[in-house]
Structure 1
Amino acid sequence: MQRQRCLPLQSAAFARNYPVPETDPTKPAARFEDLRGILRYVPQFRQRVFVIAIDGALMHQPGFASLLQDVAVLQSLNIEVVLIFGARAQVRYLAGLRGVTLSSDDGMGRTDAATMEVAVDAITRQTSALMADLTALEMPVAVSNALAVHPTGVIDGIDFEFTGRIERVDTETLQVLLKADIIPVLPPLGYDSRGTSLRLNSDAVAVEVAIALRAAKVIFVSEAGLSTPDGARLAQLSVADAREIYRRKDPRHDINLLSKLRYAALACEEGVPRVHIVDGSQDEALLSELFSNEGVGTMIHADDYQQIRPAHSSDIPALLSLMQQSMDDAALVPRTREEIQARIQDFFVLEVDENPIGSVAVHSYEEDGQKIAELACLFVRRSHKNRGHGQKLVAYAEEIARQRGCETLVALSTQAFRFFEEKMGFQVTTPSSLPTPRREKYDKSGRNSKVLRKALR
């Protein structure tokens, strides 16, 4: 029998207000079982702080137990987790039972006395239910009052009454819990110096705690995800883009998502490297977002998380592994470890969140007083094709060639010459355009590659 959650006699009524989507029993549930993929990320995440904020409505979904199990997985990997939850759904529900008209339901607007009474009751019951679930999973947890708050006061002539604002985070208390492998749980409530209870917004709590703890990530597990105008997943946003969507109050996204964008931008500007917004109704969304290069949600980043950098000798095994498929398909000339090592200064690696997914090489020649560059060894991992990574690598190679004083960039291709022509502005030319050393190798190879050329000046 499923245990009743948070509010007595609420299961049927809550289901009417927050219906659970039907599932297809003939379709197997997606499982995130690529252990090797997870282990690749573990070294960079170990002993880092992740602040996870879960929307309250998700606590009534069938997948909530699995979500908590995913949190347990993170802790088992020596990731320090702080757990925060929202309560908008619970506050709305209890207000409906009591016939109370809410002054606001999310801890952002004015909270009058009647709304505050409902919020305290709903959040207290919700906290108790969450603690019971976490305890059932044998996860050591503790509810903490680590937030020093004060009343928001008067804004634009409106007294916000029992709405609070975070003044300080008691990081020492939180760090003691984290170092003891205890997960701190922070409800969206705070207490001022007079002992008055104040309603808080859970998104604000998550970000203030993350900034204070210098967290590596904030993960908002939301009721829904962010999408583009055509309905596709919005995979990543810069801080400026997040602020612009919030400023426009994009009607495709409700106030809940807009709030997360607002606070995500603040977090990144204050030093949190990454903020993620994932659709909590998706199975294993939390692990899939964190332990795959492209994720399943939306990542807001302060810097460019896609980085092209010079290759190092330590990259050679990964490069050979990534290139193998292209070499097997005869799209790339076979290269040995020794050949790459001999020209390692010419190779550049494209990373996504510190994982190599592609590469390009730029070889330089000088002939008859002219400097010519060759773009070589261009490849992108198959799982990341058709996402613009190839164009970025070619554009980067062009810039490297210009910095070296080259006037012409050439490329040889047996299968991707249309890409160079149609997307990158190259023109098919003859082998005579190649510098003499490269022309000799071309003739010996017998590959009959197309020769492409692009003027850089």
Structure 2
Amino acid sequence: MPENDPTKPAPRFEDLRGVLRYVPQFRQRVFVIAIDGALMHQPGFPGLLQDVAVLQSLNIEVVLIFGARAQVRYLAGKRGVTLSNDDGMGQTDAATMEVAIDAITRQTSALMADLTALEMPVAVANALAVHPAGVINGVDQEFTGRIERVDTETLNVLMKADIIPVVPPMGYDSRGTTLRLNSDAVAVEVAIALRAAKVIFVSEAGLTNSEGERLAQISVGDAREMYRRKDPRYDINLLSKLRYAALACQEGVPRVHIVDGNQDEALLSELFSNEGVGTMIHADDYQQIRPAESSDVPALLSMMQQSMDDAALVPRTREQIQSKIHDFFVLELDGNPIGCVAVHDYDEGGKKTGELACLFVRRSHKNRGHGQKLVAFAEETARQRDCEVLVALSTQAFRFFEEKMGFLVTTPDALPTPRREKYNQSGRNSKVLTKPLR
């Protein structure tokens, strides 16, 4: 399509600004990207490799791992070979190993050709010291291997020279025997050894809940439990990724992503947006609510301006927020503020009442449960301040407080005297809602 084609969507500069927020924190960090072999035959594969090139251009150090399950299956079918296993996780007999060597060798050559065509410096790295898996549950695993050590020095030398290392799912033991490896295990062992910031599994499919909706993020415990009970929604390919994602986080990799490689620009969209398009398994405080600071005031005002214009929030000035900054809390997503809430308290006649105020979530992040988390946080904060009841005033969101958060609509008489006086003066005629905290 020509550069000046009028049908081409115009660039969204807010998206570009969003990308730029992430560049400093990603620069010179190691990302291990593991691509399912089946995706190498899809029309979108060249675009995926171009996304990898973008990451390298941003001074992100990339290691590429690839799976070979689809290629091993295809070649075995063509040759009439019955496979003992196709993904390097179970027993690998001699016939399966012969097919795997041929399939992985061809695949490595094809990937090198594709990357070279994109003018990306690349090298195949023999960076894995492996040993036979041995006997497991009474069964000799024969030519299945386990990783003993990762040659991080070689990988780092390549990356520092702006060369992308490609690590095949195959290795050699001390006797020179070729052994089959599982690509998910390779990706995680390499990431742990390199102290990578991320592992990104580019998969044949993504993770969804029982309603078919994308799982945006799950904890290490959830990932481990889904693997343990062999969640029937997912095939062995995704279960393997959950297993190794949990291991990676447990061993110090902060975040693991699983993205559906069939989506356009899935890799960049997952990495350079707050909510992403895939699933993130996290070991750190990816999402947190923290006390607001004076430096947050401009961002808070900017976020809330539209809602204040729409009369959904009471208009507030910089000075008003600053004067009660210790009552405000900020919801962050990957280090970016996306919502806030304030908790004020009143002591009248020995009875303490908390007020939930200034509840706000960015428009782009609504309907994802962030509002409920902020309200729950406000309730707990009020309890810690020994408040007996929490009140909230709302002109447009009172159904949310009633139906989702357990508040009850009452009269302005429930407000503490100083708050009731402000209520009468405002003329907003807000609904008054209360929730007992004891």
What's the TM-score bracket when you normalise by the shorter of the two chains?
A: over 0.9
Name which of structure 1's ranges 49-58 and 176-185 shifts more when overlaid on structure 2: 176-185
- 2:234 maps to 253
CA distance in 2 between partners of 1:61 and 1:28 (Å):
24
1:215-364 residue pairs with structure 2 within 5 A?
A: 215-364=196-345
Q: 1:28 to 1:202 in 2, by over 3 A?
A: farther
- Checking the alignment, whether the CA contact within 8 Å between 1:347 and 1:360 is kept in structure 2 is yes
- Shift in Å, 1:431: 2.1
- Return structure 1 stretches of 4+ with deviation > 6 angstroms: 27-33
2:44 pairs with one of 60, 63, 73? 63
CA distance in 2 between partners of 1:139 and 1:112 (Å):
36
CA distance in 1 between partners of 2:164 and 2:396 (Å):
53
Aligned letter for 1:227? T
**1:119 aligned onto 2:96:** no
What SS class does the counterpart of residue 103 from structure 1 fall into? coil
**1:392 aligned onto 2:373:** yes
Deviation by residue 1:35-72 (Cα, 9 ceiling, x = unmatched): 12211222222221111000011000000000001111
**1:85 aligned onto 2:66:** yes
Deviation by residue 1:247-289 (Cα, 9 ceiling, x = unmatched): 2222321111111111111111111111111110111111111
- 1:160 maps to 141
- Shift in Å, 1:427: 2.0
**1:105 aligned onto 2:93:** no
- 1:6 maps to none
Deviation by residue 1:181-228 (Cα, 9 ceiling, x = unmatched): 221110001111122111110000001111111111111001111222
What SS class does the counterpart of residue 289 from structure 1 fall into? helix
- Checking the alignment, whether the CA contact within 8 Å between 1:32 and 1:284 is kept in structure 2 is no
Q: 1:100 to 1:139 in 2, by over 3 A?
A: same
- 2:25 maps to 44
CA distance in 2 between partners of 1:244 and 1:286 (Å):
26
Name which of structure 1's ranges 235-244 and 141-150 shifts more when overlaid on structure 2: 235-244
**1:209 aligned onto 2:186:** no
- Checking the alignment, whether the CA contact within 8 Å between 1:32 and 1:287 is kept in structure 2 is no
Which blocks of at least 5 consecutive residues in structure 1 are unaligned? 1-26
- 2:162 maps to 181
Q: 1:171 to 1:271 in 2, by over 3 A?
A: same
Deviation by residue 1:219-240 (Cα, 9 ceiling, x = unmatched): 1001111222222222222222
CA distance in 1 between partners of 2:189 and 2:67 (Å):
15
- 1:15 maps to none
- 1:143 maps to 124
- Shift in Å, 1:73: 1.0
Deviation by residue 1:82-141 (Cα, 9 ceiling, x = unmatched): 110001111111222222222111111111122112111111111111111111112121
Aligned letter for 2:170? L
1:413 pairs with one of 394, 401, 407? 394
- 2:34 maps to 53
- Checking the alignment, whether the CA contact within 8 Å between 1:276 and 1:298 is kept in structure 2 is yes
- Checking the alignment, whether the CA contact within 8 Å between 1:31 and 1:284 is kept in structure 2 is no
CA distance in 1 between partners of 2:320 and 2:28 (Å):
38
Deviation by residue 1:24-43 (Cα, 9 ceiling, x = unmatched): xxx99999982122112222
CA distance in 1 between partners of 2:199 and 2:115 (Å):
20
CA distance in 1 between partners of 2:298 and 2:164 (Å):
38
- 1:19 maps to none
CA distance in 2 between partners of 1:64 and 1:297 (Å):
17
- 1:190 maps to 171
Aligned letter for 2:377? Y
- Checking the alignment, whether the CA contact within 8 Å between 1:246 and 1:259 is kept in structure 2 is yes
Q: 1:166 to 1:35 in 2, by over 3 A?
A: same
CA distance in 2 between partners of 1:276 and 1:30 (Å):
29
- Checking the alignment, whether the CA contact within 8 Å between 1:30 and 1:283 is kept in structure 2 is no
CA distance in 2 between partners of 1:454 and 1:133 (Å):
61
1:447 pairs with one of 414, 428, 433? 428
Which blocks of at least 5 consecutive residues in structure 2 are unaligned? 1-6
How many residue pairs get aligned? The number is 431
**1:437 aligned onto 2:422:** no
Aligned letter for 2:252? G
Aligned letter for 2:426? S
Q: 1:32 to 1:157 in 2, by over 3 A?
A: farther
What SS class does the counterpart of residue 400 from structure 1 fall into? helix
**1:402 aligned onto 2:378:** no
Aligned letter for 1:300? I
Name which of structure 1's ranges 238-247 and 187-196 shifts more when overlaid on structure 2: 238-247
Aligned letter for 1:381? R
What SS class does the counterpart of residue 361 from structure 1 fall into? strand
Among the aligned pairs, what percent are the same residue? 86
Name which of structure 1's ranges 50-59 and 235-244 shifts more when overlaid on structure 2: 235-244
